[in-house]
Structure 1
Amino acid sequence: MDLRIQRSVVSNLRTRPQAVEVGPFVAGFDAGTDSPFVNYATPQPGAAITAADVRALIEAFEQAGRKPRLEYVTSSSPGLESLLLAAGFTVEARQEYLICTPQTLNAPPVPSDVILAEARTDPDRADLAAATNEAFGAPAEASDGDVARIRRTQDGGGIALLARAADGERAGGGQAMTPQDRLSEIGGIGVREPFRRRGLGGAITAEIARLLFARGVEIAWLEAGGEDSWRVYERVGFAPAGRRLYISR
């Protein structure tokens, strides 16, 4: 599973508008944002990597005006971390990823006063971005770049799900990346404060997974940011399957 997940991450980065191959690495840059969570690199699994390759990767980030950063499944490049630490990188986080299949999915009920629907228009995409930005503690607004990224994800076969209250107030949402090898990563699950502690996060996650499976995806995967979200994801059918590393310079 580790190898399959890492290959899907590589494939997704290659679909970026500014994808750059740097030796054994693939980097994805986005001119619309300098966020390190959007601009990052990953190694091709099993590739031989040297200190010179790491230096070349740093130079590519510097030329792009972005912070050098990587995300990857640790078992896919077991010697890479020591090379990165020697080049001045610092570990941000070590996290387990979780997977779900059609057989393990356990969809909870959606709160009766909330409607879940795919974002089909740019105003809906802006509402989705604004709601999840607010949920993660950022300004509750959406840029043109946010809208363009969501639209691009959908154009590639990904999913953007918006949760609204019955009166139209945005409640939260989430996304799934463009499927690769019948896998898709679910991310950005966010619920605004007035709608929390009602099971909405789990309902959003489960509905995105259901939509993926209905379109032929075999495995949905994600990462939990803490114990609370971990419990939410386990309840809807996700189980731990491997480890990933986040590291930056």
Structure 2
Amino acid sequence: MSDHAPRITAFLRASITRSRETERVGPFLASFSGDTGNPFLSYAIPDDDAEPTLADVAALNSAYLRHERVPRIEYVPALAPVVEGVLLDAGWQPENRLPLMVLAAGTSLDGDVPPGIQLVTPATDAEFVATAAAQNEAYGGPPEGPEAGTALRRTTERGGRVVLAQVADTAEPIGGGVFVAPHDGVTEIAAIGVRERFRRSGVATAMVRRLAQEAREAGATTVFLMAESPVEERIYARIGFETIGEMLHISDPAGHRYGTGASDVG
């Protein structure tokens, strides 16, 4: 197991505590987004070396259903190897196993933005909404209202950064991404999304490079992300990210009547 994994998990706990309602449920730190039913924004993290009981899992389910949220957990299974088996016994099902990648120290982040594209830092409500809309479309979510940019604005207010990719001539939004405020030198690049007709043009690579550079400037010494697919893993590897393990997303399918929306920042 990489030495990075415990620090990354500590960052994730600090991040959800800073931005959401949280509740201690047995060996789990459960978080609940009050702004949206997006299931990716409400999840629990087990303690390192946690050994939950079925009663603990039942209590966790009850907590999420009480908040009308999908019972979900996101964690590094190598840090709590007993947890997955207990969840499976309780009827939970894995959603995804994502490569956990860390930017190698000293990696050069030089690179060109694709021709005709510009990367901007959102500052107005319209720009935050445009970023959220592009990300949501990229992840296959339904159209969102004017409040969609609220979470992104809060990310910047709390010390993180947001990037919006757009067509240079028309300002048409193409995609977006974020990094969360660093904690103890660690931050996550997340919610990298590019609308389908603009993919395979280098936009995602340019956004990740930009965010990684800004994260370093903000004091991050460990910059990590999770690749959504083998294609993304290869793209990020070319930038300089190295796979150090995996992140397991697992949930109780009985709770999936709650929650809609695209993947967003954790």
Q: Residues of 1 paired with 2:181 and 2:191: CA distance? A: 14
Give the length in aligned residue pairs.
248
1:153 to 152, 155, 160: 155
Instruction: Quote the offset at 1:31 in angstroms.
Output: 2.2
- Is contact 2:49–2:82 with CA below 8 Å preserved after alignment? no
* 1:242 matches 2:245: yes
Matched, 1:98 2:97: no
1:88-142 per-position Cα deviation (integer Å, ceiling 9, x unaligned): 1111112220011451243421013111121112211101001111112223444
Aligned residues: percent identity? Answer: 36
Where does residue 211 of structure 1 map in the other structure? Answer: 214
Aligned mates of 1:59, 1:141 — CA distance in 2: 28
> Are residues 102 and 123 of structure 1, via their aligned partners in 2, closer, same or farther at CA, if it must alter by over 3 Å?
farther
Question: Are 2:75 and 1:72 equivalent residues in the alignment?
Answer: yes
Q: Is the 8 A contact 1:98 1:221 kept in 2?
A: yes
- CA distance, structure 1, for counterparts of residue 98 and residue 228 of structure 2: 8
Structure 1's 129 and 55: CA in aligned 2 closer, same or farther, altered over 3 A? Answer: same
Structure number with the bigger relative contact order (C-alpha 8 A, sep ≥ 6) is 2
Return the alpha-carbon distance in structure 1 between the equivalents of residues 146 and 104 of structure 2.
34
- What does 1:1-249 correspond to in 2, within 5 Å? 1-144=4-147, 146-166=148-168, 167-249=170-252
Separation in 2, partners of 1:69, 1:143: 27
**Structure 1 CA distance for aligned equivalents of residues 110 and 223 of structure 2:** 14
For 2:163, the aligned partner's letter is: L
Point out where structure 2 has 5 or more consecutive residues left out of the alignment: 253-266
Letter in 1 for 2:60: L
SS of the equivalent of 1:37 reads helix
For 2:91, what is the secondary structure of its paired residue? coil
Contact 1:7 1:44 in 2 (8 A): no
Question: Structure 1 residues 107, 142: CA separation in 2 closer, same or farther (over 3 Å shift)?
Answer: farther
Is the CA contact 2:104–2:242 (under 8 Å) kept in the aligned structure 1?
no
Task: Classify 1:110/1:30 alpha carbon distance in 2 versus 1 (closer, same or farther; 3 Å).
Answer: same
In 1, the alpha carbon distance for the partners of 2:105 and 2:213 equals 8
Q: CA RMSD in A?
A: 1.6
**More displaced stretch, 118-127 vs 105-114:** 105-114
1: CA distance, partners of 2:190 / 2:146: 19
Distance in 2 between the 1:71 and 1:143 partners? 29
1:9-28: CA deviation from partner (whole Å, max 9, x where unpaired): 11111113312222221111
- Higher alpha-carbon deviation: 123-132 or 2-11: 2-11
User: What are structure 1's unaligned runs of at least 5 residues?
Assistant: none
Deviation at 1:224, TM superposition (A): 1.1
Structure 2 distance, partners of 1:135, 1:120, is 21
Distance 2:97 2:124 in 1: 36
Contact 2:109-2:213 within 8 A present in 1 as well: no
